[in-house]
Structure 1
Amino acid sequence: MVYNIAERGCEPYIVQVRNMRSVIHSFARTSRRAITRYSKKFLYLPVTLEDEIPSLENVFSMKEMNYMPDLIVARFVNAKKRSDLIQHRYENMISKNKHYESNGILNSSTDITIKFIGDRHEKKQSEVPSNNTTMAAKCFIQWGMEGKLANRFINLCHASNLNRIPQNVSVIEIVTLKFVGQTPSREIVLDAWITDCQNTGFLTRTNLFPNKIRNLEGRKVNVITFNYVPFTVITHDKEKSTVYDGFEMRTFIECAEKLNFTWKLVLDEENLWGAVWSNGSGNGVVGMVAEDQVDVGFAGLYYWYSTFLWTDYTTALSSSGITCLVPKPKLLPSWMSLWLPFSAVMWIAVGVSILIITVVFYTLAKASNKCLGGAILNSYATWINCFLTTMGMFVLQSPPEPQDASHRPIKGFVISLLIFFLLVSSVYSGGLASILTVPRYEHPIDTVKELADSNLPWVNIHEAWVWSLLDSDDPISKTLVHNFQVLTEEEMTELSTQGETAFPLEKFASNHYSVPAHINETAIQTLRIMKEMMYGSHITIATRKSSPYKESFNQIISSLYETGIMLFWEEQMTERYMSRRLQIAIKQSVILSNKEGPTQLMVDHLQGAFVILSLGLALATVVFTAEMAYSTIKRHHERFKDKFRYSD
């Protein structure tokens, strides 16, 4: 039931129960599982008006109070018995509230009236004396209750302002926890609701839900992160004292200064980003935030759906994307130089053209001889001769010219073929000259599809690098997730120079890259940056779901982002803590041209020609040997037949 109410976005909650601790614990568990997020306000009432809620120390000291600052308790007291004590307490309360108002902590413009309809303390608005009535109500909230209080409602609106507490009246204290400072669980009386036959209203008309986050007065906030340049930098200076830097760390420190809180760093360097499991438990940055072990976590976090179910995110600090360093394409073998001037489609077109020309040659020669008469040249007498004549023209060899006047159609066809093959051979010769002087490489991996098609494994130290792809139905994304592997830094350092593995890098809005330890100047000589991004997202800070700090953090982050300070910090951290030589090397790795320019022709460049010559010689030798063997066998066979013929 509590879960369904939470999903409806009800706010505030008015609860009437004897055991406050169990209800608070239920609300805390529900808020971790509910999808709806908002800052919740709670008003707890006793079961009966005669009950006096005992000391709230056990309630306000609960762990759940770390993210429930807007919790107030209505406590009924009897002014007959303790009028002097209460009067002294409320005089101090008025003095403190005036101090808070002067510091901007309390907003006196918001007033709440509590009215119990159907109870012996019921008092209609028309019965309140006119001299004690203020302006009309600003808000009216009704909350139906079950059981005994099925017809009882709460009115929250303006009410009278009393300057003192009369004798023999009913007093309702509005109590909350301090939340701020070094004693956050201390009890604070915000105001008092006074009811008698003549006066009804709040004593000081204080805002019952003041903004406690505006000034946390040194309250301790637990934060988790790890060394991940340029987001977070944890290092030591010359005096061996710890130095915290990084543009995310600076943003958090700025929030600490603005909101006046202290912080304690929690480290989980073994699990890094960690994980959150289906039961809400976890480890690392996102896991400890989800388990409420820390209040804030950051380390270049993205808006991951898998962790969004258990954590909350602030507004974006910046944006970044993931690309890959892939192996550089290798030089193509020199024996392939004869085939590289034309693409595969072009070679197919040339082959089909030669076959068609052969057929036309043979058909035209037969038709010309039949219709026009004359002798047919041997070059066009058979299919084989026509094919060899066509191949000769392809390499610019002159064909035999028919001398008979009746072969004019063949002459015209030969002239057109010579022009055609001259153009094809010229294009081929130009491409071949370019390939022999400028080295050619394998096709580089520039897109995500090409990376998936290559089936190259891409590796990193944590599976968080594929969280953004897990819920994708795209076949390419599924292939990338399948090819991802988690390795140690030592294993990745060993693989970085072997040219068989891809390494993801994070590219920032400032056009810089995060360079891990296994990518050094030696490794970058064998790697090349992809042109296309695999995926991208905004960078955020993780907080507990419905965290009271989120809105204040959002305001500070938005101010830093709008003024450009965030981008300035990002560039500054990159320049200060990362190698500029590596940054330049990564950006220039996309260039594949030979730095030495055209190369001098050597024997290696003619490997293709020698390969063809070798194949031709080998084929000729085989054919010649076969013909000689066939001739010898045939001659012996004829002699054997003659021998038996003479014997007969």
Structure 2
Amino acid sequence: MVHVDSAWTILLNIINQPNIIFVVRDYVNATSFALKTNKYVGSRTDHPEQLQLVDRYDSLQQRFQYNHSLFPDKLRDLKGREVIIAYFDYRPYTVMKYVKKNIYGSLVASFKSSRNNIRNIGVPETSDQAYVYIDGTETRVVLNFCAQFNCTLQIDTSDANDWGTIYPNISGDGALGMIVNHKADISIGAMYSWYDDYTYLDLSMYLVRSGITCLVPAPKRLTSWYLPVQPFQTTLWAAVLLCLSIETIGLVLAHRSEQHLYLANRVENIWLRSLAFGLVTTFKLFISQAGNSNVRSVTVRVLLFACFLNDIIISSIYGGGLASILTIPSMGEAADTLERLRAYKLQWAANSEAWVSSIRSSDDLKVRELLENFHIYDDHELLVLAHKANMGFTVERLPFGNYLTGPDIEQMVIMQEDLYYQYTVAFVPRLWPLLERFNQLIYCWHSSGFDKYWEYRVVADNLNVQIQKQVENTIISRRQNDIGIEPVTLGMANFAGILLVWVLGALAAITVFALEFVAANLSGDLVPK
């Protein structure tokens, strides 16, 4: 008695393996043996598991009757055998459009190629979704494979709502689950070479390189209260402060010498008076204000003139820089590199765990920090968050410069580098007999250069080219450092920083006046007449 599981395994092998030989004899002591093989080719409705006679072997004469090849090449012409793809729409890798029917129930030839109108066996044949037009950079590889080896391509969308997962009990869901459950022969659509799935399935040669990157919020305009310090860089401000310090020291020493020369120590606190003179005069000259001190010596006069010339040059440079900043706003930094994305702790999201499954097992602490800020939302939630939340959204960077974009990118820029990259493959069942021929076709496809042409062609036909240009423009703009540098109309926001300085100065003056008033009142200097 044959176990049920064993019988099912034998039947699957007869259906799915081309090179099977059965040795059959008519009775127990027969000396002639019939060598039979499964049909394999042809439609599944024609029963490819049927056995066909290949040759007969006479053990007494030790010769074959027909001298036929015992293992003929059945894969050269599959004679319409069905190849089923676990298919879902993920452009530009896989594109699916439903084919409309006219009032007589016939398919409308509204698409470019009738060979792309494929039966969807995941729905009843009477359904409006029974026939679909398929296209895509990876789909075209399978289409050309079936054209070369005469197989009938079909798709099954019944469970292929996502990439899917395979579980340790050799079951699964999604597109990958359809392969392990023997519902499909091949799964494509940005399938990365995931090791966990490779333990249960076979994978083809790589199809394309796919980089995972993020759309991040565009750099924001710097807050206006930084405005007074923006014209000079930090090093230049340090040089200005050093110059003013030298001026102050020079004026203090010159004023002290003048007081000693003309007043001969008849004034108390000469050093304190000289220090006050140096500080106040330097500050007044720096802001282009006139002083009210009487200067007698030529030395102090020459020094004041030199300080005035120096400060007027600094003030002119500062004024020119401030004028340019007022009309051409300064922008902050976007989290467009891995280091900035990690340092800013920017939250980022995708619609599936498959976007990060390749780096989940990474030991890199930086990668782990990035994954702590990763979240999964459905497509509707991602669209809502794209307009409200300050976060990044995963996109794919195709090998020849195009992008798979999801949320609105009006206020976003693409990262300058990839989070990581992977090579996409096609997943097939273990010991799939067509895998070697499929890999040979992929070799020819890469060497011919069609991969680049197909990417641009499919993107132009099935994706929003305007969005592709917008994404590309964000890259070009950052390379030229011209994001947001268009002149703008001045408003009150442009002067918030200057007004802040004025308010702080007024508050400081009022505070000092109040303190002086209180101190004079306490000391009795304020005596009414």
TM-score range, shorter chain: 0.7 to 0.9
> 396, 416, 423: which is aligned to 1:531?
416
Equivalence map 1:222-621=2 (5 Å): 222-239=84-101, 241-268=131-158, 271-344=161-234, 346-347=236-237, 350-351=240-241, 386-392=278-284, 394-395=286-287, 404=297, 424-516=314-406, 519=407, 523-590=408-475, 591=477, 593=482, 597-621=486-510
Partner-residue secondary structure (3-state), 2:422: strand
Inter-partner Cα distance in structure 2 for 1:193 and 1:73: 12
Inter-partner Cα distance in structure 2 for 1:256 and 1:467: 32
8 Å contact from structure 2 (residues 255, 274) kept in 1: no
Distance 1:298-1:328 versus aligned 2 partners, 3 A rule: same
Of stretches 556-565 and 340-349 in structure 1, the one that deviates more from structure 2 is: 340-349
Of stretches 497-506 and 417-426 in structure 1, the one that deviates more from structure 2 is: 417-426
**In the alignment, which residue of structure 1 is the partner of 2:40?**
179
Inter-partner Cα distance in structure 1 for 2:250 and 2:59: 114
CA positional deviation for 1:568: 2.5
Partner-residue secondary structure (3-state), 1:542: strand
Of stretches 349-358 and 488-497 in structure 1, the one that deviates more from structure 2 is: 349-358
Distance 1:380-1:276 versus aligned 2 partners, 3 A rule: farther
CA positional deviation for 1:549: 1.6
Distance 1:205-1:496 versus aligned 2 partners, 3 A rule: same
**In the alignment, which residue of structure 1 is the partner of 2:75?**
213
CA positional deviation for 1:578: 1.9
Deviations 1:505-541 (A, max 9, x none): 222234222233xx3xxx3322222232322233321
Deviations 1:204-260 (A, max 9, x none): 554444333222222233320201122222212442553222232222222222222
8 Å contact from structure 1 (residues 438, 598) kept in 2: yes
Inter-partner Cα distance in structure 2 for 1:368 and 1:475: 66
Distance 1:76-1:330 versus aligned 2 partners, 3 A rule: same
CA positional deviation for 1:328: 1.8
RMSD: 4.1
Inter-partner Cα distance in structure 2 for 1:290 and 1:415: 89
Inter-partner Cα distance in structure 2 for 1:278 and 1:397: 82
Distance 1:335-1:637 versus aligned 2 partners, 3 A rule: closer
> Does residue 631 of the first structure (1) align with residue 492 of the second (2)?
no
Q: Percent identity?
A: 26
CA positional deviation for 1:395: 4.2
Work out which structure has the larger RCO, using CA pairs closer than 8 Å and 6 or more positions apart in sequence.
2
Inter-partner Cα distance in structure 1 for 2:165 and 2:37: 35
8 Å contact from structure 2 (residues 328, 488) kept in 1: yes
Paired residue type of 2:38: L
Distance 1:206-1:498 versus aligned 2 partners, 3 A rule: same
Distance 1:566-1:20 versus aligned 2 partners, 3 A rule: farther
Deviations 1:410-435 (A, max 9, x none): 977x7886676566545433322221
**In the alignment, which residue of structure 2 is the partner of 1:63?**
12
Deviations 1:15-67 (A, max 9, x none): xxxx9989x96xxxxxxxxxxxxxxxxxxxxxxxxxxxxxxxx5885224455
8 Å contact from structure 2 (residues 329, 484) kept in 1: no
| TM-score, normalised with respect to structure 2 | 0.78
8 Å contact from structure 1 (residues 20, 59) kept in 2: no
Distance 1:395-1:21 versus aligned 2 partners, 3 A rule: farther
> 184, 188, 205: which is aligned to 2:52?
188
CA positional deviation for 1:273: 0.8
8 Å contact from structure 1 (residues 216, 260) kept in 2: yes
CA positional deviation for 1:355: 5.8
CA positional deviation for 1:310: 2.6
CA positional deviation for 1:296: 0.4
Aligned pair count reads: 490
Of stretches 545-554 and 624-633 in structure 1, the one that deviates more from structure 2 is: 624-633
8 Å contact from structure 2 (residues 160, 178) kept in 1: no
Inter-partner Cα distance in structure 2 for 1:366 and 1:291: 97
8 Å contact from structure 1 (residues 173, 191) kept in 2: yes
Deviations 1:420-478 (A, max 9, x none): 65665454333222211112222123212222222222222111111232233333322
| TM-score, normalised with respect to structure 1 | 0.65
**In the alignment, which residue of structure 1 is the partner of 2:122?**
none
Paired residue type of 1:305: Y
CA positional deviation for 1:332: 2.2
8 Å contact from structure 2 (residues 256, 270) kept in 1: no
CA positional deviation for 1:282: 2.2
Inter-partner Cα distance in structure 2 for 1:351 and 1:269: 71
Inter-partner Cα distance in structure 2 for 1:222 and 1:515: 28
Inter-partner Cα distance in structure 2 for 1:342 and 1:78: 102
Deviations 1:273-296 (A, max 9, x none): 112234443211223324444220
CA positional deviation for 1:358: 5.7
Distance 1:264-1:624 versus aligned 2 partners, 3 A rule: same
8 Å contact from structure 2 (residues 256, 274) kept in 1: no
List gaps (5 residues or longer) in structure 2. Answer: 102-127
Of stretches 396-405 and 268-277 in structure 1, the one that deviates more from structure 2 is: 396-405
Distance 1:288-1:352 versus aligned 2 partners, 3 A rule: farther
Paired residue type of 1:69: P
Structure ID, larger Rg: 1
Inter-partner Cα distance in structure 1 for 2:65 and 2:442: 38
Inter-partner Cα distance in structure 2 for 1:427 and 1:66: 84
Inter-partner Cα distance in structure 2 for 1:263 and 1:473: 42
8 Å contact from structure 1 (residues 341, 432) kept in 2: yes
Of stretches 486-495 and 611-620 in structure 1, the one that deviates more from structure 2 is: 486-495
Inter-partner Cα distance in structure 2 for 1:374 and 1:604: 55
Partner-residue secondary structure (3-state), 1:243: strand
Paired residue type of 2:95: V
Paired residue type of 1:212: K
